[in-house]
C-alpha cells in the first residue's frame, strides 16, 4: 500500500504555499526593480490562490487509507525530513531568508530555489502515491512550473537592474 495519498500531498502543498506567500510578500517590500517587485507581488497572490485551490482539491479527494504504526512513522519521518530540508521549512525560515536578501537578483535566485524545492517534493510525493490519485499532484506541479519559468526568465533577461 502506498503511504501517501492526494490529501496528504495537498496538505504538504498547503504548508509550502503558505511559506512561499510569506516569503514573496516580504521580499516584494525589499525589491528595487519594478519588474522584480511586481513579480514578487504576483507570486504572493498566486501562492495565496494556490492555497485556496489546493484546499478545494483536498476537500474533493478521498480519505487517506488507514496506516499501520510503522507506515505512519515512516510517513511522518519522510514528511518532516523533506520539509526540514526545503528552502523554506516554515514561515519563520521564509522571513529569515528575506532578511538575507541583498539585492533583487538574490531574491529571484532564492525564489527560484524555493520553487525548485517545491517541485522536487511534489515529484517525490507523486511517485509514492497510488496511481489513481497522482493527477491531483500533477496539477500542483504544473502550477509550480509556471512560477519557476517566470523567475528563470526574469533572471535570464537581466531585468533586475534599475
Q: If you write DSSP's letter for every residue of 95-139 in order, what string do you get?
A: HHHHHT--SHHHHHHHHHHHHHHHHHHHHHHHHTS-GGGHHHHHH
Residue 87's pLDDT band (cuts 50, 70, 90)? low
Q: Which three cell numbers stand for residue 34?
A: 519594478
Name the residue with higher pLDDT: 73 or 85: 73
Q: What is the biggest distance separating any 2 CA atoms in the chain, rounded to whole angstroms? A: 56
Region of residue 5 (left: phi > 0; alpha: psi -120 to 50; beta: else) = beta
Q: Which three cell numbers stand for residue 53?
A: 485551490
What phi, psi does 102 have (nearest 5°)?
A: -105, -25
Q: pLDDT value at position 140?
A: 82
Residue 62's pLDDT band (cuts 50, 70, 90)? low
Average pLDDT over every residue of 120-138: 77
Q: Are 75 and 67 in contact (CB under 8 A)?
A: yes
What phi, psi does 17 have (nearest 5°)?
A: -65, -40
Superfamily of domain 6-61+71-157: Ferritin, core subunit, four-helix bundle (1.20.1260.10)
Average pLDDT over every residue of 26-52: 92
Percentage, residues of the chain above pLDDT 70? 79
Establish how many alpha carbons lie within 13 A of residue 153's alpha carbon, considering only the half-sphere containing its beta carbon.
8
Q: Which of 81-90, 96-105, 133-142 has the highest mean pLDDT?
A: 96-105
Whether 152 has a pLDDT exceeding 90, the answer reads yes
Q: pLDDT value at position 45?
A: 94
Q: CA 128, CA 16: separation in Å to the nearest integer?
A: 18
The least confident of 27-31, 80-84, 89-93 is: 89-93
Name the residue with higher pLDDT: 85 or 23: 23
Whether 162 has a pLDDT exceeding 50, the answer reads no
What phi, psi does 24 have (nearest 5°)?
A: -65, -40
Amino acid at each position: 500500500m502506498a503511504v501517501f495519498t492526494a490529501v496528504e500531498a495537498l496538505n504538504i502543498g498547503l504548508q509550502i504555499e503558505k511559506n512561499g506567500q510569506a516569503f514573496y510578500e516580504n521580499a516584494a517590500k525589499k525589491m528595487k526593480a519594478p519588474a522584480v517587485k511586481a513579480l514578487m507581488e504576483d507570486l504572493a497572490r498566486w501562492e495565496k490562490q494556490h492555497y485556496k485551490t489546493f484546499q478545494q482539491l483536498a476537500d474533493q479527494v478521498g480519505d487517506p487509507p488507514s496506516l499501520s504504526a510503522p507506515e505512519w512513522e515512516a510517513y511522518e519521518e519522510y514528511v518532516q525530513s523533506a520539509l526540514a530540508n526545503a528552502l523554506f521549512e516554515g514561515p519563520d525560515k521564509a522571513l529569515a531568508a528575506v532578511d538575507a536578501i541583498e539585492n533583487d537578483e538574490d531574491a529571484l535566485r532564492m525564489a527560484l530555489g524555493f520553487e525548485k524545492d517545491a517541485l522536487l517534493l511534489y515529484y517525490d510525493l507523486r511517485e509514492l502515491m497510488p496511481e489513481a490519485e497522482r493527477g491531483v499532484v500533477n496539477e500542483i506541479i504544473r502550477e509550480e512550473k509556471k512560477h519557476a519559468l517566470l523567475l528563470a526568465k526574469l533572471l535570464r533577461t537581466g531585468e533586475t537592474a534599475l
